[in-house]
Amino acid sequence: MDATGRRAVVTGAAGGIGAALASALTERGASVLLADLDPEVARTAAALGQHHWTGDVSSADGVEALLATAREALGGIDLYFANAGITGAKGIGTEEDWDRILDVNLRAHIRAAERLVPEWTARGEGCFVATASAAGLLTQIGAAGYSVTKHAALAFAEWLSVTYGDQGVQVAVLAPMGVNTKILWGDGTKEKTGEERLSQQAVAEAGRVLEPAEVAEAVMAAVESGTFLVLPHPEVLDMYRMKGSDYDRWLRGMRRYQAKLRGTGDDTQQNTTRGDGARA
């Protein structure tokens, strides 16, 4: 889909990938509504000369309010970028932790698509872009909720494409590794736990940490070409193929790499792990 003259909603748009997506859309002549729980979204939108909405997309009411605001401000919605996300709690987490991360990283996508797909299929056109992660293909060491919800977000995007792709609904899913954002480094307001630092290190050394603008350009290229899977880090595809070719070997490699990160692995283990492609 050509973004020129289109109407787009971007969630998680106060900074990072979301702000970069809004900027890339603006450069292409789209009208954009930037949405975020962070009040900074107003300043980001103003800098781009675009609209904003401050609120929480983790509830059905929040998504409903966002879409109503977007329709009023933009006159309709052609593209929806489900970009808001959180890393969640370390380890397995609690029931409350799971409810929160499922609402933000997955149900927000479902709730938006539920309300947008009927109008898009009726007119035969619309585009849904989900921000997942390489963790949705490869699994990330550390927080269970993050990897599980990113797998689920990717699966939901696949389902949308399979189910509605022949009715004019274009779907793309973003699956990067490290990106220079607060979700990787934190916002500096609190000290990271050992598990959080472990997750950060695993991502940061897996490949080059990209700038949000680089990722946004990769997403827009996919939207314009009709490509589903957006991999700003091309090496993720090699890792994914290796995982699929020998799942048990990949799991062993991930365990060795985790041990190395925790300081319990030796150099031999490190070399074997990298050979197994377990750097996700």
In degrees and rounded to multiples of 5, residue 10 shows phi and psi of -125, 120
Give the relative orientation of helices 144-164 and 108-123 as an angle to the nearest 10 degrees: 10
Residue of 45, 86, 47 whose CA lies nearest to 69 = 45
Strands 51-54 and 79-82: unpaired
Residue of 145, 117, 110, 149 whose CA lies nearest to 132 = 149
Among the options 146, 164, 240, 257, which is catalytic?
146
Task: Write out the two tokens for 165.
Answer: 């792709």
User: Helix H segments across 28-57?
Assistant: 40-48
Q: What CA–CA distance (Å, rounded) separates 126 from 141?
A: 35
Task: Write out the two tokens for 100.
Answer: 């929160």
Strands 7-11 and 79-82: parallel
Chain centroid to CA 153: 8
Ramachandran area for residue 93 (φ above 0: left; ψ -120 to 50: alpha; else beta): left
Rounding to the nearest 10 degrees, give the CA dihedral for residues 264, 266, 272, 277.
Answer: 50
Residue with tokens 């792990």: 273
The residue type at 108: A
Burial label for 85, CB within 10 Å (0-12, 13-18, 19+), is buried
Please say if 247 is a catalytic residue: no
Q: Which residues are tagged catalytic? A: 146
